[in-house]
Amino acid sequence: MITSVKLMLNKSRILNNGSYPLVFQVIHNRRKKLLYTGYRVKEEVFDESEGKIINGTGSSFTAKEVVKMNRELRKMCNQIDTRIRQLERTREEFTVEDVLAQNVLGSGKPQFYLLQYINTQIERKQELKKVGMAAAYKSTRSSLAKFISRPDVRMSEVDLAFVRRYEDFLYSNGASGNTISYYLRNLRSLYNQAIVDGYHPRGEYPFAKAQTRPAKTVKRALSRKDMQILADLDLTNEPQLEFACDLYLFSFYAQGMAFVDIVLLKKADICNGVLTYYRHKSKQLIRIVVSPQMKVLIDKYGTENEYLFPIISGEYASGYKQYRLALGRINRYLKRIAVVADIKVPLTTYTARHTWATLARDYGAPVSVISAGLGHTSEEMTRVYLKDFDVSMLNQVNSMVTNLS
């Protein structure tokens, strides 16, 4: 059975600059599969009949880069052809997946250019429906593109000096310490994945001295009195604030449920008075008995689609932008609510989670129980989570210990 291999532009996907992903299309036994090369080029600089990139009008690549890219593309094509011949010699049935097995072809060879490799990783995350990571990589790519100020750089240029210059660039453009750590962590993750995919670095590891750990931020929990104030607050004349407050209360009532998990809750997740869901972040299974307070809020917001609350519509992958916009909007409303309610603690969707954990601890709940309620993968994670809240307790102990009178 003939196996066809063709280098082509994937015109079902297009970037804002008018370029398309360059892919190898492999067809075997009437099944088609695409292998992303990591390169994105415009239609006018790709000769489909010859299967190569050309120095046409509008090309953003130098002549030297075009030669290098075409060399890598030929190498990839030869690897695919070699793999097909190997499979044909076995005289056994094989699939198109066997032809493009990662352990045989390696990375798909996008590792030679940084931005192109990131493009491939974005594609992979999107295909795996990991839209959060895809968005993180997109923002990092955008930041790196501004820093590089040219079409691309070879992965070999990402060395210690490159990382330091990038860090300085971010600082000079007003980025906060945590924002810089965020971009550097993403870049480090991409670099490490490139190594897994077959890239062979030379010299010192570029992130050995980079500050990738985020700075600790003050996480404050509300008191029981503050929570009662929120529960009693009458916001009927301001429905947007009322909805934000209700979501905050629901998060607290539902064992500190994260906002992203509230967004993804579906009506089908409730059965016989029990809410069952997998945490989006840790994939831990959580079961919660629907309390009267939770039921009131659920019944209050009936939706026409499958979701429990009217936050996104359609599939989550397409609604990710809606979720991010909703998160920012709800947090803005919570700030206004804090002013109305005269609550001094910064009010965000995240503090509801911390508040539940803190009050549970204050009531004497074991760390193991709090850990299960939060959906943490380990009790150690919960201990770290609660560590910030021990200041008042330590202050009491310190007062008793140091009171020498």
pLDDT tops 80 at residue 257: yes
Residue identified by tokens 């939706």 is 303
Q: What local confidence, expressed as pLDDT, does residue 395 receive? A: 52
- Two tokens, residue 77: 């094509």
Helix (H, G, I), strand (E, B) or coil at 53: strand
**Share above pLDDT 70 across residues of the chain, in percent, rounded to a whole number:** 83
H or E element: which one contains 11? none
> Could you tell me if 353 and 374 are in contact, meaning their C-beta atoms sit under 8 angstroms apart?
yes
pLDDT in tens, 211-254: 666 655 555 788 889 989 999 999 999 999 999 999 999 998 98
Phi first, then psi: give them for residue 126, nearest 5 degrees.
-65, -40
Residue identified by tokens 């959580």 is 286
DSSP-assigned letters across all residues of 180-223? HHHHHHHHHHHHHHHHHTT----SS-TTTT---SPPP----PPP
> Could you tell me if 184 and 167 are in contact, meaning their C-beta atoms sit under 8 angstroms apart?
yes
Q: What local confidence, expressed as pLDDT, does residue 108 receive? A: 42
Phi first, then psi: give them for residue 19, nearest 5 degrees.
-90, 160
> Could you tell me if 354 and 389 are in contact, meaning their C-beta atoms sit under 8 angstroms apart?
yes
pLDDT tops 90 at residue 339: yes
> Which amino acid makes up residue 32?
K
84 or 127: which leads in pLDDT: 84
Residue identified by tokens 């979501």 is 247
pLDDT tops 50 at residue 111: no
End-to-end CA distance of the chain: 93
Q: What local confidence, expressed as pLDDT, does residue 392 receive? A: 52
Q: What local confidence, expressed as pLDDT, does residue 384 receive? A: 56
- Two tokens, residue 125: 């995350």
For residue 297, name the pLDDT band (cuts at 50, 70, 90).
Answer: very high
- Two tokens, residue 218: 């003050």
CATH 1.10.443.10 in the chain: give the residue spans. 224-397
Q: What local confidence, expressed as pLDDT, does residue 32 receive? A: 86
DSSP-assigned letters across all residues of 6-45? EEEE-TT---TTSEEEEEEEEEETTEEEEEEEEEEEEGGG
The CA distance from 43 to 122, in Å, is: 21
Phi first, then psi: give them for residue 28, nearest 5 degrees.
-145, 130
- Two tokens, residue 21: 């992903």
Q: What local confidence, expressed as pLDDT, does residue 237 receive? A: 93
pLDDT tops 70 at residue 317: no
Q: Which whole number is the average pLDDT over 68-78?
A: 87
* Class of CATH domain 224-397: mainly alpha
Q: Which whole number is the average pLDDT over 360-366?
A: 77
> Which amino acid makes up residue 308?
L
Q: What is the DSSP letter of 314?
A: S
> Which amino acid makes up residue 157?
E
The whole-chain average pLDDT of the chain stands at 81
For residue 147, name the pLDDT band (cuts at 50, 70, 90).
Answer: very high
pLDDT tops 60 at residue 402: no
Kindly report which listed range (36-40, 163-167, 289-293) carries the lowest average pLDDT score: 36-40
